[in-house]
Structures are given as C-alpha cells and as structure tokens.
Structure 1
Amino acid sequence: MTKEQVLKKYFGYDKFRPLQAEIIETILAKQDCMVLMPTGGGKSICFQVPALVMEGITLVISPLIALMHDQVQSLQANGVPSAFLNSSLTSVEQRTIEEKCKSGELKLLYISPEKLFYNDYLNFIKTLTINQIAIDESHCVSTWGHDFRPEYTKLNILKETFPEIPVVALTATADRVTRKDILTQLGVPDAKVFISSFDRPNLTLSVLPGRNRLKILQQFISKRPNQSGIIYCLSRKNTEDVAEGLRKLGITAMHYHAGVDSKTRSEVQDAFIKDEIQVIVATIAFGMGIDKSNVRFVIHYSLPSNVESYYQEIGRAGRDGMKSDTLLFYSFGDIITRKEMIQNSELPDDMKEVQLAKLDRMKQYAESEICRRRILLSYFNEEAQNDCGNCDVCQNPPKKFDATIFAQKALSAIARTEEKVAMGLLIDVLRGSQNRSIYDRGYQTLKTFGVGKELKYEEWADYITQLLNSGIIDIAYDERHSLKLNAISWQVLKGEKKVDLVRFEAYEAKKARLDEETPREKTKKEVIKDALFEKLRVLRKKIADEQNVPPFIVFSDATLSDMAQKRPINRFQMMAVSGVGEQKFNQYGEEFINEILDFTGKNPSFGRPKAEKGMTYLETFEMYKTGLSIEEMAIKRVLNPVTIISHLVKLYQDGQDIDLKQYIMTYEYNQIIAAAMKINIQKGDALKPLFESLEGVYDYGKLRIALAIWEK
C-alpha cells in the first residue's frame, strides 16, 4: 500500500498534515530525521505510516508504561498489529509477543529503554527484521531538556547496532541547544530536522492572579460540564487540598502524585482516561504517560519552572484539534518558591544558572502585556506574523495609567523602613494597618504610615509586583525577601522618571477572560447539532465501557464532531468522516449510523446533510468491488450506465484499483486510439469530434474507457 492508502485505511484521514508526508518519505528513503511537532500535532503518524508501508517491524522507544499502553491500544483499535514489551508483562505474555515479532505478525513494537538494556535484551532485537527505530519523547536524552532520563543516554548504541536503519527522534519541546544535543546523544548528528509550527491555535491562553483560585476553578469548570481537565499543582499537599475542595463543590475530582501508592495512582488514571472522573489534580508526575485526546482544559495552579514544561503540559489539552482552554495562576510567591527549589537543589552551579534563566523566561510569559502566543512561539524560535486574538492579552488589552505617585509612596515606605521589609509588611505600612508586627517595629510612627490607605491590599500587591517586574524595585531573597531600592528607584523618588502601570482589575472584571460564550445565541441547528454530539458521546461511552477501553479509543471528540456535522447514514458517508477507517467502521459504524438515524428521525427540522463531494464515486467503487457489472450498478443506483463508466474512469485516474480493460475489447481500443491520434485529440478535449469521426459506432462510455487507459 502507498502511504496515502495506509493513512485512509488505518487512521481514517484523507490527507496528511503539513510536513508529515515529507517526513514519511525521508524515513522510507532510509534517512535519519528529527521531528519537532507540538503535542497533538501528529508526530506518531510520521513513524506509524512508514511502519505499515515497509517490510519488517518498527522499534519504538517509549519512556512510560502507561504511554505505551495507550498508544498500542489506539493502534490495535485501528487494526494495526502492534504490542509493547515492559515490566508490566508476565513471562508468558512476553514470550507470546516475541513469537509474534519473529513470525512477522507485528508491525510495531514499543519498548522502554530499561527493558531494552536489561539482560542484554538487545540481542533478541537483533534477531528481528527492524525497518526503523523511533525514539519517542527524545528530549529525555538531553541534560538540557526539561525531563532528562539517564537511561536514555545509552540509546546511541541503537545506531551503532543498526547503522543502515533510519532513526527518527520525536519530541514536542526542544530549543536549539536541546535539539543539537539530542542528535549528538543519539549518534545521528547529521539527521534532517523537521520543525512543525509550534502554534496550537485551538488552545486559548489565559493568566490570572493567584487569588481566589478555588472560586475561579469552580466557575471555570462549571461552564464546561462533561469536559475532562487537568489541574497541575506544585506540591503533593496542593493536589490533595484542591481535589478535596473541588469535590466539596460537587465536581468529580481526584488527586495524583508520586506519594500515592501505585495501585491507587493506576486506578485514578484509568478512571480519568475512561471519563469517569472529570478533573484530575496532579503534580507533574502525571500527564506524560497518557494519550487521552479529549482533555478540554489544562490549569496550572502554580507557576511551572520553565516554558518547555508549561508548553508540554498545556499541550495535553486539545490533542484532537478541537477548541480547548488553558489557564495559569501566577503570583510573586510562586517565583520565590521556584527560586528556592532551584537554589536548594543538588544541581551543579552552571545548571542552576540555566534553570534560573528558564524560570525568568516563564516569569516574563506570565507577566506579559503582549500577545502570549507570540512569546511562546518566539521561545521556540518561531515568529508569529500577527497577534493571535485567542489569549487574554489580545482579548483584553491592559489599560495603563500614570502611577508615579503610588510608586513614590511605596518607594518612600521602603526607604523609611530601612529596606528591611517584605511585600506584605510594606503594604501594612502603606495602608496603616493596626497589627502587632507594625507596633513591634515602631512603624506606626513613620511619615509614610497610612499614606496609601486609599488602595486595597490586592491593589497594592498588584502594583508592587509590577514595580518589581519593571526593575524599579529589587528583592533580596537571602534577607527574607526584603524589598530594596536601586538607581531607578531614586530617579522615581526624585521625580526624574515617570511610572506607568497596568490598572488593577477586580476579580469580577477579570473573570470575563474565562467566558467562552459568544454574545450571540446559538441557532436552532447549532443547538440540535450539539445535542447530536452529546447523543454520540453517550453511545461512545457505552461502547467503551463494554469493551473496557477509554472512550477516545472508540472515536475522538473531533471525529464525533465531524460525524454530528455530516450526519452519515450509510457506509459511504461514514467512511468520509475524518478519523473513521475500515477497522473502526467495521467495529462501530452501524451503531453510530443507527443513533444518527434515530436522532434525525426525531428532529426532522434538522434536515438531511448535503452529499459529500466525491461520495457518489465512492458508492460506485464499493459496488464495483462486489463484482457487479456496469448495468447492474446502474440499475441499483438508478443512474445511466455512461455515468457509472465516468465514475469508474475517474476512480481509475485517481489511482484506485479499477480494471478498465475488462470493459473494452482489444480491437475496440485500437480503433478508438487510432482515430484519436488521427484527429490529434488531447487530454481534456471534448469527445464529440472523436465520436463523429468514428461515425457513432462507439458510445461515449467506450471512448472514455479507451482514452483513460491510453493516457495512463
């Protein structure tokens, strides 16, 4: 089969995404390559399709058991013979898979690095006919990557062992330094690098101050009923507290972190994947090992340590390409905590410096007053031509005002407290708070005591943070986070420099950023389409539960949405739905068609879907494959036989397996082509002159058949 035929038959797609076809051709040409595509961008297709085109078996190195399980389960659901080898298998299961590998039954074998190098297991791999080696999550090989795994560093032995076999390294997140290191570590420094756009236009990007988090979470999630989401927290305790808080609010949520026993973790993850838990609250220990395509939102309760981690984690939303949301809570305390974690780590000083620099880039993103997508793309060395219009900054441009007086009040208070106070106590001084800390230090006698009582605590916290971020104030982390003056501070105090700050917005104003509803009301058709999607979603869950698989294994949300739009009511129409291949139709097609027929019967105002372009050709092709004659097809389809012939000719020209020669005798073909050459007929010319030159002996159907064979 060609790569296009494999794509349609096994994965149900009519065309490749950008770069996929080129990458596949590179692999088929036995050349090494590196693939950088965002999560959900279609990386797996790049090695799965050539695995099915080539003879032999593809070896896939994957870091996590759960990730292997999900990917193999998805492949098997599509009819692709595949398996994984890792520590979760019994010896009997392992031997069965090994026999299938040797007999050529399998096309893809997923294996962990630990398994590959345990007890010289590579010797078994050498006995197989390997056609390509795919290194998934290849950033794990680099110490510069955000998820370094020491066991990955041995993988260069694969290229040494199989020098003629193409190696493809795949990752969603790697800057220039990391890319170069990955290829060097894997022993393929000259591999061709394919960099897809890192843009994920289906993801909305929002950042909110780290206050009222639980209240915001409740409102955010309540607007997304039946939608799966992940909330990332910095600490184990955070995950437990947030999950419990959500449950008290009536939201099905569970926590997940490395301190939970493996059995419970597995149960929680399984329930989330099967849509039995709406929200999973987790540390970064969760996520890399799942392939769940219908996660509709990702929330960061705390600031991630770097842009790579943030990008990969938000990438777990909307893997199916459908609209999904991301939200990041940010506070200055997050920066302090992250810096302390880095400084107290056992990393060498040069790596600490790198991690601090990466944290600073993350801080810049969170505090951005320009399009957030531009910042993300810039980080990965990609330029955005326009603002995205799908982030909070684009949708709610910040309003600035002359805040010089407020800045001078804060700076004066820092000076009069002898630069010995952190932010909280400084705000108490400015607001004239009557508390013990103030009186113990005698700050109630300062001239600046109470000069800022017109602002609320939240307003001062917001403005002082902006002064810090603007470099107008410094902070001494080693002096209990005391605020310090610098040269710019004194310029402001002396009136030599003006200060513009973004005006503070109360929570009630900022929550508008979370509103996903458009001002207009949905049309009746849109409401009914959504209702059909929900019906199909319920059917999908029922089938998934019966088969004990995640719902997205049956069909993705994107496929259900396309199905609800097209409303297929026969095999030909269903096969035109994106994501429906032969195996999926054979397993589930009839049930979904019956559900659609039932729904449309109860909603006649919905109307019938328009016929898909090319659908009539597909119907003819399906009949042709059953062995019907042209006349029999014409009768069944209530069409003219010449029309059926035109369909067969078009299918033949498009590369389908059509035997046109059975419909024409050799002498007929010779006479028609001789006449065509005599009058110099060209491709695309009208057939009437040829018909007349042959005095009408042959009908237009015969002429089309002869010319199609001749042209090819």
Structure 2
Amino acid sequence: MNRESSLTDKLRHYFGFDRFKGQQEEAIKSVLAGNNTFVLMPTGGGKSLIYQLPALLLEGTAIVISPLIALMKNQVDSIRGMQSEDNIAHFLNSSLSKAAIQEVKNDVLDGKTKLLYVAPESLTKEENIEFLKRVKISFYAIDEAHCISEWGHDFRPEYRRIKPIVEEIGKSPIVALTATATAKVQHDIQKNLGILDAEVFKASFNRENLYYEVRPKIKPETQIIKFIKQNEGKSGIIYCLSRKRVEELAETLQVNGIKALAYHAGMDAATRSGNQDKFLMEEVDVIVATIAFGMGIDKPDVRFVIHYDIPKSLEGYYQETGRSGRDGGEGKCITFYSYKDIQKLEKFMHGKPVAEQEIGKQLLLDTVSYAESAICRRIILLNYFGEKYENENCGNCDNCLNPKEKVEAGDEVARALKVILEVNEKYKGEHIANILIGNKTAAIKSFKHYTLETFGSGKDHDERFWNAVFRQSMIAGIINKDIENYGLLKVTEKGHEFLKNPTSFMLVKNHEYEEEDDSANAGGAPSGATSGDPQLYSMLKDLRKKIAKKHSLPPFVIFQDPSLADMSIQYPVSLDELQKIQGVGQGKAKRYGKEFVALIKQYVDENEIERPEDLIVRTVANKSKMKVFIIQSIDRKISFDDIANSKGVEVNDIITEVEAIVNSGTRLNIDYYIDDVIDEDRQEEMFEYFREAENDSIEAAVEELGEDEYSEEDIRLMRVKFISDMGN
C-alpha cells in the first residue's frame, strides 16, 4: 500500500475524516520526515491536526507549547474524545495538583502519552526541564507562534525563552504554527527559533464568506442594538478594549431584551467559563468581551463580530474577525472607527519602553490606514499578510459595495518616490509625508531635511492624502516596507521602472469619518438641537407652548429642546417609552407626558409612520451611582463643596449632575445651599428673570443680568431651583 493512501487511512482511523484540507497533508509529511516546519494557516484551517496526527504515528512524545490553560484543556479533551485511552494526551500546567502532575509524568515515562501540552512558564521550571531530559521527544510543536514576535499582536516575553530551553532538554525537530503573521512576524519567529531552514506551508488568508465594514462611531450602542435586532437569534461576539466598557455594554444589551453576557480577565474564573459555556451551548446569543475571549473557541456558527473599539493592530483584527463564519456560512465583521480612539491608544503607550512604543505606533498606523482607506478591504488585508488579491472588487465589503471616486495620481506617486530615494530609503511614511507637505518637525530640523530639493513638493495635499498614496503604491508593488526595519519605505524594481516611464495611477480617495459631537452640555438645551421629523417637532413645540401658558411657566420648564428633538426621532407612544427619551425621567413623564404621547400617537397613525422601536435604546437605570449619592447628600443638606471633595471632583461637576437630575423631572430642594452662597435679593432677581425668559440659556442670562453682578455658577444654581420648584 502506498504512503499516500496509508496516511489517509490513518486520518480516518484516528480522526474519522475522509480527506485532508488544503496543505495539511504536505505539512504532515514534512513533520513525519523530521523537518523543521513553519505552518501559517488562518483560523479554522485545521492547524492542530498537523502536529496531532504525526504525534500519534511517531515514536516518543510530542511536546506542544501552548499559551492558554483553557486552550490546552480543550485540545486534550478533544483528542481523548477520539481515542480509546485517556492517557494518550495530557497537559502540564499550574492548574494541576502535585499528585496529578506525578500521574502525568508516570504516563509519559511509561510511553503511554503521545501528546504533552505545556505552558511556556511550566517549561522553564527546573524540575520540568530535568523530567523532559528523560523523555524520548518526537518533536516540539509551538502553537500560537506569533507570541514570539514583538511585532505580533499578542507578544509574550516567555516565548522568547523557548529555544534555549529546548536546546538544554535535547534537540528535536520544531514545528511552529500560527494563524496570523506578516512577513516581518514570520521572519522573527523563524529567526528566534533557529529554524530559518524550515519547510514553509502558507494557506491563503482570504475568507470569502466574511463581509468587512467600517462605520463612523456615532451612537454605537444604538447602531449595535439595531443590528442585533435585525439579526435576531444569531450568535455574535462584540469586542471592547476595556473591562468597564464590556460590562456597561453587556448590561445595556440585556435591558434592551438581548441575551448577552460579559467576558473579561477580571471576572472570577467560574463566572468567566460559565459565560463562555452558555455562549457555546447557545443559552445566550451575544458575548461582549475583551480580546481575552476567543482563542481556541471552536464555535463554527458565529455570524457576526463587532469591534466597538478599533483593535491595536491589523493582525489582532484579522484574528478576531476570523472567529465568525468558520463553517463557511455568513460572517459579518463590523468595526466602529473614531480617530479619538486611536489617540487614546497612543496615550496608553506613553511610559512603555521606546522600542515598544515605536512598534505600537507603526501597528496603529496600519490600522488607521485600513479604516480610512476606501479601496477593497480584502486587498488591504491580504496585502498586509503578503498575499496578492487578484480581483479589483471583492463584492463583499463596504468599499466594494459603495465605491468611492478615483483621481489621477501618477504625478503624486512619482513625487513620493523621489522623496523616498532622496533620503536613501531610510525613513518611515510619516517622515516622508512631512517632507512632502513641508512640515518643519523636530526630526526634519535635526536631519536638515528642509534643505532637500523635494521639501514642500507635495504641499498641495494633506497627510491623509499622502498616506493613501503610500498605501496604494504598496499594494501596486511600487514601494514596500523593509522587513528588518519595519516601516522604512523602499522603492521596488517596479517603482524604479515607474519613475523612468511614468504611467497613469488611479488613486481611490480616503474616507473622512464624522466624529460624534461631545459638546452638548448637561445643563440647558444644547444649541441647535436637531430634530428627526420637522413637522412633528414643530407640533410638539406648539403643544409645549400651550401647556406652558396653562401653567404660567416658561416652555423650557416643561421639556427642553433636545427632549422634543428626541421625541421627533423616536416617536414614543406610551409613558413608558417617553421615559426613555433624553432628559425625560419618571417625574416629567407623569406630570406632562400624557398630552405629548397622545399627540405623537395620533400623528403616527394619521401619517402611517413605521416607528423605529428597535431604536428606542433603553439605558441602564441609575447607571450613575454618583446621581444616587448626590440625591442622598442633598436630602441630608450637605454642602456642594463637601459633596465634591468626597468624590474628588469640582463643585462645577456636581452642579452639572444636579442639572441633569432636575431636567429629567426629579424634584430637588437645594435652598439650604443657595441660601448659604447667594443673598436673598439676588436670588429673587434671578428667579424673576427665569419666570420671564424665553429659554433657559445661561449665556443669555449672564448677558441680561450682567456678568459683573452675577456669576455663571450662581445663575446655574438658580435655574436648577426654578425648574425644580416650578416644573417638577
């Protein structure tokens, strides 16, 4: 019987599969032949089989080095499930008792164990090194090998110590496996493990079934809830960068009727693994998680992966989005992008070693150019991993489905190439862009690059434009990034040819994402509150005027402009729904709401309006413990200064919170504090001002009353008293 068919027979015998996937068979033969082997296969490509089958066939025990305890346990359980004997596979890590460790060691020494999974930390323990010296080792398999590289998205320093330890234990072939690696990371892995001679097996990074989309980060919670409701019952993962955001978002989804749970490293192990199991067993639809979640999660039918925050690197992004649609079915990958998030990530890097900051910055720049670029997302992703995508339009990403205009940029590409060559290909994109624009940065001054002939030769465009030129020239193979010194721009042969014989170069213009406006103050109405339905908005204003007249109150005491604007977007038709409107609490809804919801209901019926019920995002009740604390403190007549001191904030912040509480209809009696800080005559004058005022604008009040006489803080306090006394 020839070896080909016998290998397939062994596959069927041990794993029950009829045939190999992709390059699995060739890679397995390389391991069986005792070669050093490097395997790069995207998530779901069947990497683990490449070391599991040879381990069962070869003499001795294969040592599998894996970074996560949960991952090891899953792998060992799945192998045991397919074999008749449990001791065929074991793991050795800090979660085992002394007795259990001894049992594992006995099985290995008796030759019963074919696969021994070890955490890199356990590998460095002296007693384990001594033990492994007594074992016949068939080969070492290093899983998640990207952890070796500082350029990988999950660098772990202990992975750097694998090679010296392996050499101390005794040399055997090395198999390195990873699901994401750029050319730079691959080179790092092979160099560090001393396997530059390895047989390399690379599968395509193209996952045709995945749809990629980047959206501006405006009201992301609303967008997420709407998306999930449109995809009812489907499994999904939402990634956030902070544990706090994970918990808040999971809670918001729950109160909006979505079966969601949180997952992050700060939770106790039992809750965490319980939540993971509920997701795997389909008791919940959505997991909101930090990137701690998902390594080794073998759920084939995850239908969407949403990034609430943009990831720190494209490798991380590829790995996380790759957890959707592993069965080849639908997989939607949606990312929310805001440049403010990038600035936050840059801030987190301060204080880290300079080399680490430099790497982090480069990886972030790649992520930014992916998000802002308007060319096919697949082309960019595959190019990042050193693969060329032949089609110009993949038909399954936002940029291909909504193409942006192209502009002729042959001249600009030539200008960029000239600068790169004039500085001897020794600088990064950011520096090249500054030379082109004519920015005299500190670096440009110190290298005297303002004296270059090309300095300022591209000042007719901004940095974003030049970034698009670099990115798209890379994809066209005209420039590339140096592998050893990642980030330095080099001109390729094709680039030199382009300079000799310039041709047309059509450039796709980058996206310009809007940013969410944070300027709305918690006090009065933000200026220019925008309404959804202008006709309804004007009817609501008329109704407010009529009710205000009836109660002899200024209209803003009934409901403020932003509340009316929100009503004209959400169309609330019951008091319960009205309470979900911005700035409307239970008190306001009960006191004035009846006529408003009656008007909206009639309007909706008469105009046959389909209400966006899924857009009425319920916020978590009493989200702010601060508000409860303030209400209790005011009941006990504690001065605002003392409340502020006890919370480590300014008095101004306390007034802002008090404004929000009163504006949503809660009555607060702050007379004790006002009497303490404002004399009686001035109180009366300000109170009378608000009785006559057209709106509750603080600026208008300061102007009318005179800023020399009345401080902004005093006026805000009196506005709170007025609204609370008269309206709530």
TM-score scaled by length of structure 2: 0.54
Question: Is the Cα contact below 8 Å between 1:66 and 1:290 reproduced in 2?
Answer: no
SS where residue 241 of structure 1 aligns?
A: helix
SS where residue 290 of structure 1 aligns?
A: coil
Matches within 5 A, 1:367-446: 367-386=372-391, 387-398=393-404
Question: Is the Cα contact below 8 Å between 2:238 and 2:306 reproduced in 1?
Answer: yes
Number of the residue aligned with 1:259: 266
Number of the residue aligned with 2:244: 237
- Report the residue type matching 1:103 in the other structure: D
**The one of 171, 191, 197 aligned to 1:184:** 191
> Distance in 2 between the 1:365 and 1:492 partners?
20
Could you say if the C-alpha distance between residues 111 and 287 of structure 1 is closer, same or farther in structure 2, counting changes exceeding 3 Å? Answer: same
Question: Is the Cα contact below 8 Å between 1:139 and 1:171 reproduced in 2?
Answer: yes
Number of the residue aligned with 2:703: none
Could you say if the C-alpha distance between residues 490 and 290 of structure 1 is closer, same or farther in structure 2, counting changes exceeding 3 Å? Answer: closer
Question: Is the Cα contact below 8 Å between 1:71 and 1:291 reproduced in 2?
Answer: no
Superposed CA offset, 1:86-125 (max 9, x none): 1122223222322322333332111111112224202222
> Distance in 1 between the 2:334 and 2:439 partners?
28
SS where residue 73 of structure 1 aligns?
A: helix
- Report the residue type matching 1:250 in the other structure: G
Number of the residue aligned with 1:689: none
| More off after superposition, 294-303 vs 316-325 | 316-325
Number of the residue aligned with 1:64: 68
> Distance in 1 between the 2:57 and 2:312 partners?
41
Number of the residue aligned with 2:9: 5
User: What are the ranges of 5 or more consecutive residues in structure 2 without an aligned counterpart?
Assistant: 408-432, 442-454, 463-506, 517-728
SS where residue 282 of structure 2 aligns?
A: coil
Question: Is the Cα contact below 8 Å between 2:235 and 2:285 reproduced in 1?
Answer: yes
Question: Is the Cα contact below 8 Å between 1:3 and 1:50 reproduced in 2?
Answer: no
Shift of 1:360: 1.1
Number of the residue aligned with 1:113: 120
Matches within 5 A, 1:558-637: none
> Distance in 2 between the 1:473 and 1:9 partners?
68
Number of the residue aligned with 1:308: 315
Superposed CA offset, 1:670-711 (max 9, x none): xxxxxxxxxxxxxxxxxxxxxxxxxxxxxxxxxxxxxxxxxx
Could you say if the C-alpha distance between residues 52 and 223 of structure 1 is closer, same or farther in structure 2, counting changes exceeding 3 Å? Answer: farther
Shift of 1:400: 8.0
Number of the residue aligned with 2:205: 198
**The one of 368, 378, 386 aligned to 1:363:** 368
Superposed CA offset, 1:426-483 (max 9, x none): xxxxxxxxxxxxxxxxxxxxxxxxxxxxxxxxxxxxxxxxxx99x999999xxxxxxx
Superposed CA offset, 1:347-396 (max 9, x none): 22x33222212111111111121110110000011101113222121222
- Report the residue type matching 1:122 in the other structure: I
**The one of 176, 183, 188 aligned to 1:169:** 176
| More off after superposition, 363-372 vs 76-85 | 76-85
> Distance in 2 between the 1:262 and 1:270 partners?
12
Shift of 1:55: 2.4
User: Does residue 207 of structure 2 align to residue 207 of structure 1?
Assistant: no
User: Does residue 327 of structure 2 align to residue 323 of structure 1?
Assistant: no
SS where residue 337 of structure 1 aligns?
A: helix
**The one of 30, 33, 37 aligned to 1:29:** 33
Q: Provide the alpha-carbon RMSD of the alignment.
A: 3.5
Shift of 1:157: 3.1
Could you say if the C-alpha distance between residues 5 and 65 of structure 1 is closer, same or farther in structure 2, counting changes exceeding 3 Å? Answer: same
Could you say if the C-alpha distance between residues 70 and 31 of structure 1 is closer, same or farther in structure 2, counting changes exceeding 3 Å? Answer: same
Shift of 1:504: 8.8
Shift of 1:12: 3.1
User: Does residue 56 of structure 2 align to residue 49 of structure 1?
Assistant: no
> Distance in 2 between the 1:492 and 1:98 partners?
66
Matches within 5 A, 1:685-696: none
> Distance in 2 between the 1:492 and 1:18 partners?
46
Question: Is the Cα contact below 8 Å between 1:400 and 1:501 reproduced in 2?
Answer: no
User: Does residue 28 of structure 2 align to residue 19 of structure 1?
Assistant: no
Question: Is the Cα contact below 8 Å between 2:63 and 2:137 reproduced in 1?
Answer: yes
User: Does residue 135 of structure 2 align to residue 131 of structure 1?
Assistant: no
- Report the residue type matching 2:404 in the other structure: P
> Distance in 2 between the 1:341 and 1:473 partners?
29
User: Does residue 90 of structure 2 align to residue 90 of structure 1?
Assistant: no
Question: Is the Cα contact below 8 Å between 1:400 and 1:502 reproduced in 2?
Answer: no
> Distance in 2 between the 1:173 and 1:244 partners?
32
User: Does residue 356 of structure 2 align to residue 351 of structure 1?
Assistant: yes
> Distance in 2 between the 1:120 and 1:473 partners?
61
- Report the residue type matching 1:184 in the other structure: K
> Distance in 2 between the 1:144 and 1:49 partners?
31
Shift of 1:166: 1.6
SS where residue 96 of structure 1 aligns?
A: helix
Question: Is the Cα contact below 8 Å between 2:261 and 2:287 reproduced in 1?
Answer: yes
Could you say if the C-alpha distance between residues 6 and 492 of structure 1 is closer, same or farther in structure 2, counting changes exceeding 3 Å? Answer: closer
SS where residue 168 of structure 1 aligns?
A: strand
Could you say if the C-alpha distance between residues 61 and 329 of structure 1 is closer, same or farther in structure 2, counting changes exceeding 3 Å? Answer: same
Superposed CA offset, 1:271-307 (max 9, x none): 3233322211112222225344433321110111111
Matches within 5 A, 1:493-512: none
SS where residue 328 of structure 2 aligns?
A: coil
Could you say if the C-alpha distance between residues 492 and 156 of structure 1 is closer, same or farther in structure 2, counting changes exceeding 3 Å? Answer: closer
Matches within 5 A, 1:403-552: none
Superposed CA offset, 1:488-531 (max 9, x none): 998589xxxx9978699999xxxxxxxxxxxxxxxxxxxxxxxx
TM-score scaled by length of structure 1: 0.55
Number of the residue aligned with 1:617: none
> Distance in 2 between the 1:400 and 1:111 partners?
53
What fraction of aligned residue pairs are identical, expressed as a percent? 46
- Report the residue type matching 1:171 in the other structure: T
- Report the residue type matching 1:369 in the other structure: A
SS where residue 2 of structure 1 aligns?
A: helix
Number of the residue aligned with 2:42: 38
> Distance in 2 between the 1:502 and 1:144 partners?
27
User: What are the ranges of 5 or more consecutive residues in structure 1 without an aligned counterpart?
Assistant: 402-467, 477-485, 508-712
Number of the residue aligned with 2:448: none
Shift of 1:42: 1.3
SS where residue 109 of structure 1 aligns?
A: strand
User: Does residue 149 of structure 2 align to residue 142 of structure 1?
Assistant: yes
Question: Is the Cα contact below 8 Å between 1:492 and 1:499 reproduced in 2?
Answer: no
SS where residue 292 of structure 2 aligns?
A: coil
> Distance in 1 between the 2:292 and 2:510 partners?
38
User: Does residue 256 of structure 2 align to residue 249 of structure 1?
Assistant: yes
Number of the residue aligned with 2:425: none
Aligned pairs, number: 428
Could you say if the C-alpha distance between residues 196 and 389 of structure 1 is closer, same or farther in structure 2, counting changes exceeding 3 Å? Answer: same
